[in-house]
Amino acid sequence: MEQNLLEVRNLKKYFHTPAGLLHAVDDVSFSIPGGKTMGVVGESGCGKSTLGRSLLCLEPPTSGEILFRGKNIANLKKKEMKAIRPKIQMVFQDPYSSLNGRMTVRQLIAEPLLVSKLCRTRAEVDKKIDEIMDTVGLARRLDMAYPHELDGGRRQRIGIARALILEPEFVVCDEPVSALDVSIQAQILNLLMDLQESMGLTYLFITHDLSVVRHISNEIMVMYLGKCVEKAEAKEIFRNPVHPYTKALLGSIPIPSVESCHKKRELIQGEVTSPVNPKPGCRFAVRCPYASERCRQGDIPLKEVGRGHFVACHMAE
């Protein structure tokens, strides 16, 4: 049986705002076996980035457990977290704004090593930088360049190098290709998959784009307003989506063919409602064409509708 590297149990992250309590992540549970990828998809504001930041304890969770190699890291003290931090890293969405424009490529890649004090000598740091630049496909001649002199793909390779130089086991990839051109997206996705294989990495891959997550994920979790509404193996989600929101997300993937123009798609109407003081019941009810009175009464738990396929919807029963 596969060992889970990460196990998340009933994770909640709420924020106090002047308007009330914002439920960014609300009772989310999942696990990721070592060397696998969990894709997290949903519209902007569904809580997927907050979930990723909570796993790194950049946003301390309101409640719940985050078990990394069986140890709950949800509320560790600063010193204890410092020891685990190199093992859990993040690749950010915008490789331009996440890099300090006044630092050279070499300085940017060296920074995590120097902060974590994992190397004893400068020669050791330099050797590691050269190695990681080769690993992520950055030419060594670019080491004195500044981020603004490079294209988006190379900048994202710097972001990946910064995350991987500490030899992590688990990496949260927060929309790592959304800010890139389509042709560069494929290069970065392939690089992430190659690195996963060669370094045995485990990923949480956050995106709003189901067509991107399809190729990289073993399992997919669909989030809506802080809740997990559907979770299954990637192939199963695409073959047999059950939740009306997942169906609508899949329906929104553009298909470049004339026949597809005539096919009826389930598109979502309306806008995402506020996650501040959410009403009881299904959070998708205001936009769901199948909503009934029953959907507005009480929470809708995830139910297993097939092997490893969980859905939070009355229609799934």
Positions touching ligand SF4 (CB under 6 A) are: 243-244, 282, 284-285, 288, 290-291, 295, 300, 313-315
Measured between alpha carbons, how far is residue 158 from residues 100, 139, 200, 223 in Å?
Answer: 11, 11, 20, 29
Cβ closer to ligand SF4: 259 or 317? 317
Element (H, E) at 115: helix 105-116
238: left (phi over 0), alpha (psi -120 to 50) or beta: alpha
Minimum CB separation of residue 235 from ligand SF4 in Å reads 22
Cβ closer to ligand SF4: 83 or 315? 315
Q: DSSP secondary structure string, 143-162?
A: GG--GGGS-HHHHHHHHHHH
Cβ closer to ligand SF4: 58 or 315? 315
d(CA 243, CA 302): 11
Minimum CB separation of residue 314 from ligand SF4 in Å reads 4
Compute φ and ψ for 21, nearest 5 degrees: -90, 120
Cβ closer to ligand SF4: 32 or 313? 313
Which is nearest to 135 in space by CA: 103, 163, 115?
Answer: 163
CB 172 within 8 A of CB 89: yes
CB 29 within 8 A of CB 255: no
- CB neighbours of residue 281 within 10 Å: 17
Cβ closer to ligand SF4: 52 or 244? 244
Minimum CB separation of residue 316 from ligand SF4 in Å reads 7
CB 34 within 8 A of CB 3: yes
Minimum CB separation of residue 301 from ligand SF4 in Å reads 11
Measured between alpha carbons, how far is residue 312 from residues 24, 51, 273, 276, 317 in Å?
Answer: 18, 19, 18, 20, 10
Minimum CB separation of residue 27 from ligand SF4 in Å reads 16
Cβ closer to ligand SF4: 175 or 230? 230
Minimum CB separation of residue 300 from ligand SF4 in Å reads 5
Cβ closer to ligand SF4: 108 or 225? 225
Minimum CB separation of residue 32 from ligand SF4 in Å reads 26
